[in-house]
Amino acid sequence: MILIKLGGSVITDKREYRRFNREAVSRLCREIRESGKEVVVVHGAGSFGHVLAKKHALNDGYRDPEQIPAVAQVCYDVRDLSGMVVAELNAAGIPSVSVPPGSCMVMDDRSLVMDRQEVILRFIGKGIVPVMFGDVVMDRALGFAILSGDQIMERLAEFIDFEKVIFVSDIDGLYDCDPKSNRDAALYETVTMETLECVDAGSSVDDVTGGVAEKMRWMLRMSGHGRECMLINGNVPGRLRSALMGEETVCTRAVGGLS
């Protein structure tokens, strides 16, 4: 079984509130279907979550009552986005169901408390793909906080023995600097914890849950025990299918864990 993260930068336009990239998502879902692999899907919130979350500082936790309407709107928006992703998966012939994290999970000072794995495992057992996503989640210490898709990925990898984890983004992998602003940026084919210490973690798009270097740290956490963990460009047709099939493709692989 393979764990896939469909990044918000691919499935939405992060510069425009609630802009869904239906064509890209449809193609990616077809590539998953063509691979024939069993998968679990997590997706980012993109412009359905980050715009209002940043504007109202939702990741800082509860500060004042004026944040509450924004919490409700973000929860509505990311569920709407997840419904769109699930619709494309089902249309591609992949039986899927949205599992909103904020409805069944809590956090404690931004640490995810995930003690209801049974629902997820039972969906998988019946051949139904559970689809989770970045969400606003109630937090025991802060009132509420942003739960990123990357956090969900790490926790899923703790109780499901995934053979491979694939992060789908809008760049070919990890570079030594931002490739969107520097033509001389060099792609790392593999990355270790030592590599990250030399990387410019700047991002060309604001993201309340961290940039590419932070994403690589999440990948390194999941790369132990022989598990393959890779970052690919989902905007290039065929790359997700190739990654799923174990074929050679342009990417960055995380190796060696955090030790």
Q: Is the pLDDT of residue 4 over 90?
A: yes
Q: What is the tally of helices (H) and strands (E) in the chain?
A: 10, 12
Determine which helix (DSSP H) or strand (DSSP E) holds 209, and give its type and residue range: none
Give the integer Cα–Cα distance in Å for 143 and 137: 9
Q: Is the pLDDT of residue 49 over 80?
A: yes
Please write the tens of the pLDDT for every residue from 99-154. Answer: 999 998 999 999 999 878 899 999 999 999 999 999 999 999 999 999 999 999 99
At 74 the three-state DSSP class reads helix
**pTM above 0.85?**
yes
Q: Is the pLDDT of residue 238 over 90?
A: yes
Give the integer Cα–Cα distance in Å for 157 and 169: 19
Nearest 5 degrees, angle CA 44-CA 49-CA 51?
Answer: 125
At 136 the three-state DSSP class reads strand
Please write the tens of the pLDDT for every residue from 57-76. Answer: 999 999 999 999 999 999 99
Q: Is the pLDDT of residue 255 over 60?
A: yes
- For 19, counting Cβ atoms within 10 Å of its Cβ (0-12 exposed, 13-18 middle, 19+ buried), the class is middle
Give the integer Cα–Cα distance in Å for 180 and 87: 31
Q: Is the pLDDT of residue 216 over 90?
A: no
For the 2-254 domain, the top CATH level (class) is alpha beta
Q: Which residue has the tokens 């998988």?
A: 124
Give the integer Cα–Cα distance in Å for 257 and 231: 15
